[in-house]
Amino acid sequence: MELNDANLQTLTEFLRKTLDPDPSVRRPAEKFLESVEGNQNYPLLLLTLLEKSQDNVIRVCAAVTFKNYIKRNWRIVEDEPNKISDPDRTAIKANIVNLMLSSPEQIQKQLSDAISIIGREDFPQKWPDLLTEMVTRFRSGDFHIINGVLRTAHSLFKRYRHEFKSNELWSEIKLVLDTFALPLTELFKATIELCQTHATDVNALKVLFSSLTLIAKLFYSLNFQDLPEFFEDHMETWMTNFHGLLTLDNKLLQTDDEEEAGLLELLKSQICDNAALYAQKYDEEFQPYLPRFVTAIWNLLVSTGQEVKYDLLVSNAIQFLASVCERPHYKHLFEDQNTLTSICEKVIVPNMEFRSADEEAFEDNSEEYIRRDLEGSDIDTRRRAACDLVRGLCKFFEGPVTAIFSGYVNSMLAEYAKTPRENWKHKDAAIYLVTSLASKAQTQKHGITQANELVNLTEFFVNHILPDLKSPNVNEFPVLKADAIKYVMIFRSQLPKEQLLQAVPLLITHLQAESTVEHTYASHALERLFTMRGPNNTTLITAAEMAPFTEQLLNNLFKALAFPGSAENEYIMKAIMRSFSLLQESIVPYIPTLIGQLTHKLLQVSKNPSKPHFNHYLFESLCLSVRITCKANPATVSSFEEALFPVFTEILQNDVQEFLPYVFQVMSLLLEIHSNSIPASYMALFPHLLQPVLWERTGNIPPLVRLLQAYLEKGGETIARSAADKIPGLLGVFQKLIASKANDHQGFYLLNSIIEHMPPESLIQYRKQIFILLFQRLQSSKTTKFIKSFLVFVNLYCVKYGAIALQEIFDSIQPKMFGMVLEKIVIPEVQKVSGPVEKKICAVGITKILTECPAMMDTEYTKLWTPLLQALIGFFELPEDDSIPDDEHFIDIEDTPGYQTAFSQLAFAGKKEHDPIGDAVGNPKILLAQSLHKLSTACPGRVPSMLSTSLNAEALQFLQGYLQAATVQLV
């Protein structure tokens, strides 16, 4: 693509169409951009548009498209084509920093993200001048530019907060510190001076305070891994100024907005984080500064209001206290009973209250509320921070803290009892206190695993929780109902089973509550209860115990999906999946109606898939319906195909990328249920499965290979008969997969199925080419994974076509090739093969080579006979060799870049392990003994003499054991 006006014009038109709400306009435009993004100059055209276009919307759209393009394509993946040409890469790196710094803020943010994506791959080795180019801009004095640099540096360095320690990481951080620490410190001091100079200019202060916040974030990232010498030497400068900023209160920076945190709050929150980092990690060095920070942060907490805009600040400030109070040598700061009472009264209790802002979120923004409250993403909520402080204080002062809170809980419950309608928030706070104090150790799987003695949990359940769950009106006091449901869920491992069984029907009733939070919590609680394990590792609650409620449970779950806002509620869908899994065959009578609802839902969400978890559980539920019903009656598979195929066809035709891997897995499951023929509906689809575009996407590969394996298993004959022209396409897929280090094992799965299930005559013309491709790959890059797969294939070929055929095909490629393969690959590497089926195939294949291949007895290959036998006995008796050379670290599929739907394995579409040899061979050791006996009767005297001359004594002893077990002798 040339950099010219015509191309800029075309690109502008297509970018505009990608913003169109109408999918028939938007989709083709997205497809067009996808098809041209591999062309040289494409990213430079986007950069030209975002710099020069007259239309602001197009500029922003070009910036977002550019960032996503970089995200998808910048990383160079081994074995895959480089998606951005080298000239483009160089041009992007040469221009992007300047462009980012001169763009308006909206575009600056996108380009800053793009720089950090490129930086993750290329900095410092392939982009050594990035930092110096950025640092020189600090001198510009223009804070629009300075903030651009700081923002980019922040997105570049924030990964230091969660990277594992490694020499490479240390040397990168050292390089960054050498270039960046001093200019950052100078900038910090200069900015603080400017704040004093411009103390009365509100616009200047806004810019300066956003710089200070970014500087404070950078300080956190650069100090996270270890305390750098530079910052230790300059601690006085940083800490004195941080302390000054914490106590600063500039009226001009106070905002009227109650929701949105202002610059002052954001800066102070980050400083609390920085102080907590030092208090936790570098307490010795930080000791002189600690008392004044504790005082400043305490004063901050006592004087800050309840408005939402202070939430982050208050939670970070409380987190600071929490991290300080659990360190043994700060214990003395909190020992005084008055201090503890005052912390409980002034900090913990007020921040556990349910505020009107929480009530609004509960009613109007339930998704966010659930995310914060259930999934623990409420790291920055006041309640979570207050809980952490309670847990921190309990480390040394459990007795006094529990005593203080018992009083609070009782008085709050008493207040509620007086006038429930007005005082329900008191009960909410009491339940919250109980759950936060009682939960010493908590896991996702079991809920609370250790509890504190604040209240007797069972009595509390009977007296305060059950009444709320039993109240006839499920829509009254929804917050308390949600609290009660959450209590059951959190303490499920502590409560006796009879109380849980008492709760189940009540939870099922709460699925009908109008409140989204309430029916979501009820779904989640049921799902968690159904996964609990009893004493003998079966589910704690059995299908029989659920029998009286089965119909109501299924009805209410599916009805709950019809509530506004819950059409794609992942908790309800997960509960449906879990109910199916628990109830097993008792759902069969309901499936005919439920499958209609599930497929209808699938059709709706496939129009615009936006909730990956919901979609995953939806497909899991479909798999369970198929599995459970067809287990009872395999003939019902055709009625599932009738229901599902129309939707699947639509998904395939519209190329709904997120759903294809799932569709292929469900189709495999259905096809594997068929007895031994392929229905015509599947054969019609077969050619489409070989289209190269499907195989370009990593996420499609495992499920597509499995689906093709199912085709081969059920219809190898049919394919050879009616689709022989597709065999080259099938082998083309194998060829593509075998070339990739990440996917070569999938190529072998496919090849093994072709060898096992296709009629031999249909493959005659292709066999030699298959082996040549494998040898080319062995020469170009020989990895352990490839060799293990290669050995299994060679031995499967031998089992299927016989040892003579194997020897002949090797030697037809190149004379003496068979001996080279045995000597260089089979004998030294077979110990690495893993997996019971793989081992069995290799053992049977090698036995055949030893005993059914005349060339092994009387040619130059004879010298390999004993070493091969020795290798086979070692294969049986020695531990598996699982060593992997240092230079082989594979890219995991999950690790591939960009937005590609990674492959999501459906647990309930699982495939049974297939053994191509089956019952024909029970014990390969016995087979070896019998085969050697047969060989020795054919040429008497030869076998014992070969053994006695060169087999080592230990191996000979094992072999005697096999012969005795098989009750045969060698002659």
The answer on pLDDT for 900 being more than 80 is no
CB atoms within 10 A of CB 622: 28
Q: What is the pLDDT of residue 451?
A: 58
End position of a domain, from candidates 310, 333, 356: 333
End position of a domain, from candidates 195, 226, 257: 226
∠ at Cα 896 (891, 902), nearest 5°? 115
Q: What is the mean pLDDT of residues 445-462?
A: 72
Compute the distance between CA of residue 337 and CA of residue 324 in angstroms, rounded to an integer.
17
pLDDT tens per residue, range 277-336:
999 999 899 999 999 999 999 999 999 988 889 999 999 999 999 989 988 888 888 888
Q: What is the pLDDT of residue 890?
A: 42
> Do 215 and 258 belong to one domain?
no
Domain range for 639 is 542-675
Please give the structure tokens belonging to residue 560. 């709950």
Within-domain flag for 790: no
> Do 640 and 561 belong to one domain?
yes
The answer on pLDDT for 901 being more than 70 is no
CB atoms within 10 A of CB 67: 20
Residue with tokens 């509890």: 451
Give the pLDDT band (50/70/90) at residue 453.
low
User: Range with the lowest mean pLDDT among 239-248, 360-369, 688-697, 890-899?
Assistant: 890-899
Q: What is the pLDDT of residue 376?
A: 64
> Do 212 and 327 belong to one domain?
no
Q: What is the mean pLDDT of residues 178-196?
A: 96
The answer on pLDDT for 17 being more than 60 is yes
Within-domain flag for 838: no
For the whole model, what pTM was predicted? 0.83
The answer on pLDDT for 14 being more than 80 is yes
Within-domain flag for 819: no
Residue 449's φ and ψ, nearest 5 degrees, are -110, -20
Q: What is the pLDDT of residue 912?
A: 81
Residue with tokens 């939430």: 311
Instruction: Report the amino acid identity of residue 532.
Output: M
- For the chain, helix, strand, coil in percent to 5 are 75, 0, 25
The answer on pLDDT for 898 being more than 50 is no
Q: What is the mean pLDDT of residues 709-736?
A: 94
β-partners of residue 447 are 443
Q: What is the mean pLDDT of residues 635-643?
A: 95
The answer on pLDDT for 895 being more than 60 is no
Do 890 and 742 touch, CB atoms closer than 8 A?
Answer: yes
Give the pLDDT band (50/70/90) at residue 446.
low
Q: How many domains does the chain have?
A: 3
> Do 207 and 258 belong to one domain?
no
Give the pLDDT band (50/70/90) at residue 929.
very high
In terms of pLDDT, which residue wins out, 427 or 457?
427
Q: What is the mean pLDDT of residues 872-884?
A: 90
Query: Pick from 730, 693, 692, 728: which is nearest to 711 by CA?
Result: 730
DSSP 533: B
Q: Cβ neighbours of residue 125 under 8 Å, at least 6 residues apart?
A: none
Within-domain flag for 321: yes
> Do 198 and 252 belong to one domain?
no
Residue 640's φ and ψ, nearest 5 degrees, are -65, -40
> Do 277 and 221 belong to one domain?
no
The answer on pLDDT for 394 being more than 50 is yes
Give the pLDDT band (50/70/90) at residue 441.
very low
Residue with tokens 């209001």: 305
The answer on pLDDT for 799 being more than 60 is yes
In terms of pLDDT, which residue wins out, 882 or 376?
882
Within-domain flag for 857: no
Q: What is the mean pLDDT of residues 445-468?
A: 78
Within-domain flag for 698: no
Q: What is the pLDDT of residue 254?
A: 83
Q: What is the pLDDT of residue 447?
A: 59
Please give the structure tokens belonging to residue 860. 């130059």
Please give the structure tokens belonging to residue 242. 């941080």
> Do 220 and 173 belong to one domain?
yes
> Do 211 and 164 belong to one domain?
yes
Strand duo 439-443 + 447-451: pairing = antiparallel
Q: State how far the alpha carbon of 235 is from the alpha carbons of 187, 214, 229, in Å.
A: 15, 18, 10
| HSE-up (13 A, CA, CB side) for residue 564 | 5
User: Range with the lowest mean pLDDT among 209-223, 249-263, 558-572, 950-964?
Assistant: 249-263
> Do 205 and 243 belong to one domain?
no
Q: What is the mean pLDDT of residues 798-821?
A: 96
> Do 567 and 666 belong to one domain?
yes
Within-domain flag for 385: no
Q: What is the pLDDT of residue 418?
A: 96
Q: What is the pLDDT of residue 438?
A: 73
Q: What is the pLDDT of residue 892?
A: 35
End position of a domain, from candidates 316, 333, 350: 333
Q: What is the pLDDT of residue 899?
A: 34
Residue with tokens 């096809």: 671
> Reduced to 3 states, what is the DSSP secondary structure of residue 443?
strand
Q: What is the mean pLDDT of the chain?
A: 92
Compute the distance between CA of residue 95 and CA of residue 98 in angstroms, rounded to an integer.
6
Q: Is the Cα dihedral 955, 958, 964, 965 positive or negative? A: negative
> Reduced to 3 states, what is the DSSP secondary structure of residue 235?
helix
> Do 201 and 239 belong to one domain?
no
> Do 573 and 624 belong to one domain?
yes
